Amino acid sequence: MTPKDVLKLTKEKGAKMVDFKFLDFIGIWQHFSVPINELSEDIFEEGLGFDGSSIRGWQPIHASDMLVMPDPATAIMDPFSETPTMSLICDIVDPITKESYSRDPRNIAKKAEAYLKSTGIGDVAYFGPEPEFFILDDVRFSTGANHSFFYLDSNEGIWNTGREEGPNLGYKPRHKEGYFPVPPTDSQEDIRSEMCLVMEQVGIQVERQHHEVATAGQAEIDMRFDSLVKMGDKLMWFKYVVKNVAKRWGKTVTFMPKPIFGDNGSGMHVHQSIWKGGKPLFAGNEYGGMSQMAMWYIGGILKHARALNAFCNPGTNSYRRLVPGFEAPINLAYSSRNRSASIRIPMYSPSPKSKRIEVRFPDPSANGYLAFAAMLMAGLDGIQNKIDPGQPLDKDIYGLSPEELSKVPSAAGSLEEALEALKADHEFLLKGDVFTQDVIDTWIEYKKKHEIDPVKLRPVPHEFFLYYDC
């Protein structure tokens, strides 16, 4: 779609406003809107100015001017605005140099796609994330010098079987039994279906929706795979749609990896493959029907997994889910069918087009553009250096003896460990100037200053249970 096409589309749809969306460094959509008569073809070339110092992880105040450059190919009518509004996803540009901004996550994703093509290995990398989330009915949290608490509630929560509901009908999924009973135990079929239909309005092809394992409204909606940048865009629309449909129903959604104690957290398994000239490159005669290239790609992911955790599991809460011996796959091994491995080779179909790997440790708090780009760069490093992934692990990893388990490396155990791993292992990300040293340093500095240290400094409620009478 060209700028001229966008102007034509706005007239056809009766748009009265234009909304410019872009992603901050951490992974939250930002936006501002202008009346439709302010939209011209020139904006697509000249951009619109904004204050980059007010965006997390971006510019200092003495160099704050930045430009948003709308991408005409992303023009979609916003499905939630009461005023008819055309939405455009934007890239970020330096107003002086006119160069793409190095800390713009979408720019990093674009550079990863360009680097793949430059290697000659392939011309497109496909990604298919499976973001899980909780649909809740109430959330309250507060922290201060003398208090700290959070409180979540769900009409589905198993803890509410004894609550006066006038009447309480009792259909509430037990812990770890939400996958996947029919209604009335699954009370959220209709809200998830509405989410799917709105996703289709914004160009997301939905493959399925279902209740997930946990009680209290854990859900999953699966999208059909797409190329890296397009899937980064779709993941942002996905979160936007899910949250806003939930709000219509008087509910709230969180993509926090581990909001509820004692039940499964929310992961984001990411399917990925490389193609060239319209042909899949991951099908072959190696283990699980994979090609040698795919095995090397797996080798790269496994080698760099702890550094990848810094982008794929980017919050302190991520590591409440990645705990040894529990549901999340923290052991760095690969297998076909075995869902306790951190990399799985799906075996649903023998078709070469279906051959892909599924990386299972990421979670949906990740900035999709950065996580997908980082995994692609790790996989390409594996291909370029012919990194052997070792032998597959087809046993149930949770049933291994301590001696056997000691031979299997594990993912980072905390965000601090992940950032240390990234600090020591990031050369593979710098190839092709995809990630810059400034991006790596800023990510580490931001996460330590704004997330790790504030969490470290605060007592948590369970510590009072453990230590108050010491």
Active site residues: 51, 130, 132, 212, 220, 269, 339, 358, 360
Beta bridge partners of 128: 271
**DSSP β-bridge partners for residue 279:** 276
Burial of 284 (0-12, 13-18, 19+ CB in 10 A): middle
**Is cis: bond before 129, omega within 30 of 0?**
no
**In contact, 83 and 10? CB cutoff 8 Å:** no
Contact 20, 48 (CB under 8 A): yes
CA dihedral defined by 369, 57, 453, 239, rounded to 10 degrees?
-40
Place of tokens 């936007």: 240
- Dihedral sign computed on CA atoms, order 197, 201, 206, 212: negative
Please give the Cα distance from 304 to 411 (Å, whole number). 10
Alpha carbons 191 and 173: distance in angstroms, whole number: 17
Question: Cβ contacts of residue 323 below 8 Å, gap of 6+?
Answer: 330
Burial of 20 per CB tally in 10 Å (0-12, 13-18, 19+): buried
